[in-house]
Structure formats: C-alpha cells, structure tokens
Amino acid sequence: MSNEKILIVGAGRMAQAIIKGLKKADFTNVMVANKGNQERLEEVESRFNVDSTTQWQEHVSDQDIVILAMPPEAHEQVLSELAPVMTNQLIITVAAGIDVSYLEKRLPEGTAVAWVMPNTAAAKGESITLFTPGKNVSDEQEYFIEKILFSIGKFKKLNEQQLHALTPITGSAPAFIYRMALTLINKAKETGVSEVVAKQLVAQMIRGSAEMLNSELKCTADLIDEVASPGGVTAAALSVFDQYQFDQMMNDVLTACYERAKQ
C-alpha cells in the first residue's frame, strides 16, 4: 500500500491511464480534478474509486504530489493558480513540451518539479515513461516519482533535451503503430475473419515482433532481413516502402511532432 497523497489535475485519457496504474499498485490517496466536464469527473471517481474535486486549489496544501495532466496550453493558467497555494509539494507534469525549466520559472523558488512523458499503455502497466527531475528534487522525491512510474510500466531518467526529442518516439509513436495496425486489421477482415479475430492476429504479430526487437542478440536490420526471404514476398513489399520513401515520411512525421510540442 502507498500512502502518498496525490492530486491529479485533468481527468482525460492520460490521467485515467495513470490512475488505473496507481490504483492497481495500491496508491490509496488519489484525488482528481477537471475543468468543466463534471460528468467525466464523476465517471472517473466511480470507475477508479478515487476522490474528486472541482476546486483543486483548496486541496493542494494537503498533498504530497500534484500531477498536471491537462493540455500543455492550460499550464500557464494552472501554474499561476498553483503557485500561491503550494506548500512544498512535488509538482509533476506529463504534458508534451512542458519541461522542468518551464515549471521552475513559474513556481516558487526551490520548488521540486519533474517532467514525465508516459504513453497510453500506462493503462496496462506497459508504458515506457521518460522523466527528468528538476534541480530541487530530493532523493526521497525521486523515489516517489519512480514508484509512481513503476506502477504504470518501465521508465528511464533522461535530460530535458532528450525528453523533447524522444516525445514523438515513445509518447506519440503508439498512435503510429495503431495506425498501421488499423490498416492491417481492415485488410484481414476482407478475408472474412471477424474484427475480433483480425485484432487478435495483428496484436499477437505486434507483440511477437516487440519480443524479437527486445532480443539483444540481433540488430533491427537483421530482423528485417530474417523476415525478407531473398526474392520473396516480403522483399517485394519492402520495395514499396522505398518507392514511397518511407524513411523520409517517418522523418517528417517525427519532425512535425517535435515542432508542435515546441510551440
């Protein structure tokens, strides 16, 4: 059981994925707030058995940790409301582009802050979460951060610049994988298999590929080679990737992500 008191501001998709992990890991003191959308707040409260509030500012002084899970654009306003009511809490944001320098600049001198970049697999305890602690984070607070991140999957401590550059690759890229999965599922359905079966086939193919990717014995290029029998069907397919300049497209995809987060 974990007794740290955690307030989560924002009750959207990422917040819910984190709450799911926290509850599974037996964090007992979780409170959640949202702007507007009272219905969503009530649903989160009953679904995850957490407390909720519409006036989070009144509860900050009772907390150990505040997790900001609202859109990046809402941070300016929320931080200006948070600063005057803080009493030594650790402040964590999960927002794309909102780094520790941004938080430290807007919160009282000496505030412990961290920037965390999870992904939605947090809901299954399978996120790969990147994090950067700010300069005022104590060893005990860093332990709290790791405990929270452990509840939603694996994690890695990196610097601020690395988090900016890797947000597209670990935060957003699940959507790229699902986009490809959607095409494969739809194609599989054309053969007459049901949606459920098509999803199972594709999910297991991705799970197996992820396991292979994790193997330390082979480099990724070798894995591609291994599938592509010389002169075979996969080689024919991969030449279409080249024809459509897949690598260039992926570079553009990642750059678009990075640039948007910087805005």
Ligand X SMILES: NC(=O)C1=CN([C@@H]2O[C@H](COP(=O)(O)OP(=O)(O)OC[C@H]3O[C@@H](n4cnc5c(N)ncnc54)[C@H](O)[C@@H]3O)[C@@H](O)[C@H]2O)C=CC1
Ligand Y SMILES: O=C(O)[C@@H]1CCC=N1
The residues binding ligand X (CB under 6 A) are 9-15, 33-37, 40, 69-72, 74, 77-78, 94-96, 117-120, 171
Minimum CB distance to ligand Y, residue 254 (Å): 12
Stretches 41-49, 105-113, 164-172, 186-194: which one binds ligand Y (CB under 6 A)?
164-172
Residue 171 engages ligand Y in binding (rule: CB under 6 A) = yes
- Cα dihedral 159, 10, 57, 6, rounded to 10, equals -60
Residue 127 engages ligand Y in binding (rule: CB under 6 A) = no
Interface with ligand Y in residues 181-220 (CB under 6 A): none
Distance CA(26)–CA(6), nearest Å, equals 12
Residue 210 C-beta-side C-alpha neighbours within 13 Å: 9
67 binds, among ligand X, ligand Y, none (CB under 5 to 8 A by kind): none
Minimum CB distance to ligand X, residue 143 (Å): 22
Q: How many residues bind ligand Y (CB under 6 A)?
A: 4
Residue type, 113: V
Minimum CB distance to ligand X, residue 120 (Å): 4
Alpha helices in the chain (DSSP H): 13-24, 38-48, 75-82, 100-106, 139-150, 160-166, 173-189, 195-214, 220-227, 233-243, 246-262
The response to whether 72 counts as a known ligand-binding position is yes
Minimum CB distance to ligand X, residue 96 (Å): 4
In this complex, which beta carbon is closest to ligand Y, that of residue 129 or of residue 167? 167
Minimum CB distance to ligand X, residue 121 (Å): 9
Distance CA(26)–CA(151), nearest Å, equals 9
Sheet with 2-9, edge to edge strand ranges? 51-53, 27-33, 2-9, 65-68, 90-93, 112-117, 127-133, 153-157
**Residue found under tokens 């599922």:** 185
Task: Copy the structure tokens of residue 238.
Answer: 């991969």
Binding mask 93-112 for ligand Y (x = CB under 6 A): ---x----------------
Residue 172 engages ligand Y in binding (rule: CB under 6 A) = yes
94 binds, among ligand X, ligand Y, none (CB under 5 to 8 A by kind): ligand X
Q: What is the DSSP string of 63-94?
A: -SEEEE-S-GGGHHHHHHHHGGG-SS-EEEE-
User: Binding-site residues, please?
Assistant: 69-72
User: Binding-site residues for NADP(+), please?
Assistant: 69-72
Please report, as ranges, the residues that interact with ligand Y according to CB under 6 A.
96, 167, 171-172
